[in-house]
């Protein structure tokens, strides 16, 4: 019987070897997914650069600039129900140029732009974060920037401009309709437009040309409705709107950024951002402090000192969740912490976009506030 077994096992072994031989080299290979980031890091030739101070023209500049590669309409805010239940929200429409367009491309006839929308809702009470993302090539009725209709839109989401108080002080209507939630907010500016950096030319590094056009409405009185999983909430609070376009990219020694928008109870606001290098140290930083009356001052370089105080791990990636930000010339110290831990968009380009709490100490005086933080480039 041993002979039988011997013959059989020999046969099986040989069969296996043949099988392995024939199938050698055809092992599993997982197809890479398309990465938007990789596309956007590609060709920039043909696009205009934000390399000089610009004479803004409104309302035109509120709409798409197809000759630049990247731009966004960025709303963030902290809203409350009458009972004081708090919701943070982010509503952003991005435009990414695929092929350079021209300034006259006001009507959508070309699919040379990729629009996308990111919405984040932070339900602070339930510690629940809702994340929504959609893409669409620019196409009439589907996605685009329409100056005539005063509308930036993608699928069922839109930003409507209201120029009844003049194009430089627009009101906004932000609408969204998704499976998880519905948004309908009305935003009225309390302060005039803030031009960051040098008259709206905001440098992102010390290299010339690596800059963006950047302006904000730092205090927008917001009211409206949020329907979350079938439940309707009437909300009031304040929002912040950032408007930025450029053809810049991160420098090779820049790994990501931390961006803060603080709205203090004393009527001041702070915009502060820093770009980090691969060690996590500050590579470039800048900020704007807005006074109660709407006047503002720009601070740069060594005027700021930021110290992360505490980290938290979310999906295996460490994010700072508490900071101290000093404006040295004014001897202002801001303490900032996130309003809830997980406010990470689990997109292919993963980032933290969340509601924050803040306080400011100047001498014995303490002022509280709320705001938003954006953290990118962590865990890459």
The binding site for other proteins (CB under 8 A) comprises 1-4, 6-8, 10-12, 14-15, 18-19, 22-23, 26-29, 31-36, 38-39, 41-43, 46, 98-99, 110-112, 114, 135-137, 139-142, 155-156
CB nearer to other proteins: pick between 139 and 333: 139
Task: Provide, rounded to whole angstroms, the least separation between the CB of residue 287 and other proteins.
Answer: 34
CB nearer to other proteins: pick between 29 and 231: 29
Q: Which H/E stretch holds residue 51? A: none
CB nearer to other proteins: pick between 10 and 301: 10
Instruction: Give the strand pairing for 157-162 and 171-177.
Output: antiparallel
Residue 255 and residue 225 in contact, taking contact as beta carbons nearer than 8 Å:
no
Task: Provide, rounded to whole angstroms, the least separation between the CB of residue 107 and other proteins.
Answer: 13
Alpha-carbon span 191 to 15, nearest angstrom? 80
Task: Provide, rounded to whole angstroms, the least separation between the CB of residue 140 and other proteins.
Answer: 7
Task: Provide, rounded to whole angstroms, the least separation between the CB of residue 375 and other proteins.
Answer: 25
CB nearer to other proteins: pick between 45 and 55: 45
Residue 132 and residue 117 in contact, taking contact as beta carbons nearer than 8 Å:
yes
* Rounded CA Rg of the chain: 25
Alpha-carbon span 340 to 335, nearest angstrom? 15
CB nearer to other proteins: pick between 156 and 208: 156
Task: Provide, rounded to whole angstroms, the least separation between the CB of residue 248 and other proteins.
Answer: 17
A 10 A CB-CB count for 156 gives 12
Phi, psi for 308 (deg, rounded to 5) = -70, 135
Alpha-carbon span 107 to 173, nearest angstrom? 21
Instruction: Give the strand pairing for 231-246 and 70-80.
Output: antiparallel
Which residues are registered as beta bridge partners of 332? Answer: 327
CB nearer to other proteins: pick between 145 and 283: 145
Task: Provide, rounded to whole angstroms, the least separation between the CB of residue 177 and other proteins.
Answer: 8
């Amino acid at each position: 019987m041993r002979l039988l077994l011997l013959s059989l096992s020999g046969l099986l072994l040989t069969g296996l070897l043949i099988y392995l031989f024939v199938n050698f080299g055809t092992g599993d290979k997982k197809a890479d997914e398309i990465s938007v980031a990789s596309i956007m890091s590609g060709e920039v030739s043909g696009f205009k650069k934000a390399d000089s101070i610009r004479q803004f023209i409104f309302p035109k500049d509120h709409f798409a600039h197809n000759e630049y590669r990247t731009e966004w309409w960025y709303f963030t805010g902290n809203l409350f129900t009458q009972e004081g239940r708090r919701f943070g929200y982010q509503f952003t429409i991005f435009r990414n140029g695929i092929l350079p367009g021209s300034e006259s491309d006001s009507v959508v006839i070309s699919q040379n732009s990729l629009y996308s929308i990111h919405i984040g809702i932070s339900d602070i009470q339930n510690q629940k974060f809702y994340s929504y993302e959609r893409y669409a090539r620019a196409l009439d009725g589907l996605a685009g920037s329409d100056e005539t209709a005063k509308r930036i839109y993608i699928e069922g989401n839109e930003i409507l401009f209201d120029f009844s108080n003049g194009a430089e002080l627009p009101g906004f209507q932000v609408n969204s309709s998704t499976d998880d939630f519905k948004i309908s907010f009305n935003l009225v500016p309390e302060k005039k437009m803030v031009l960051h950096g040098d008259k709206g030319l905001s440098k992102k590094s010390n290299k010339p040309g690596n800059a963006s056009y950047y302006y904000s409405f730092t205090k927008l009185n917001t009211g409206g409705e949020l329907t979350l999983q079938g439940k309707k909430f009437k909300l009031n609070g304040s929002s912040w709107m950032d408007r930025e376009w450029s053809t810049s990219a991160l420098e090779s020694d820049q790994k990501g950024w931390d961006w803060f928008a603080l709205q203090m109870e004393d009527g001041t606001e702070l915009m502060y951002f820093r770009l980090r290098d691969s060690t996590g140290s500050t590579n470039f930083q800048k900020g704007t402090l807005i006074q109660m009356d709407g006047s503002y001052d720009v601070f740069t370089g060594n005027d700021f000192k930021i110290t992360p105080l505490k980290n938290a791990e979310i999906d295996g990636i460490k994010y700072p969740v508490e900071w101290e930000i000093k404006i040295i010339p004014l001897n202002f110290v801001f303490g900032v912490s996130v309003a809830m831990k997980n406010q990470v968009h689990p997109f292919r380009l993963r980032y933290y976009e969340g509601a924050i709490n803040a306080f400011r100490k100047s001498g014995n005086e303490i002022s509280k506030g709320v705001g938003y933080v954006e953290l990118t480039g962590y865990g890459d």
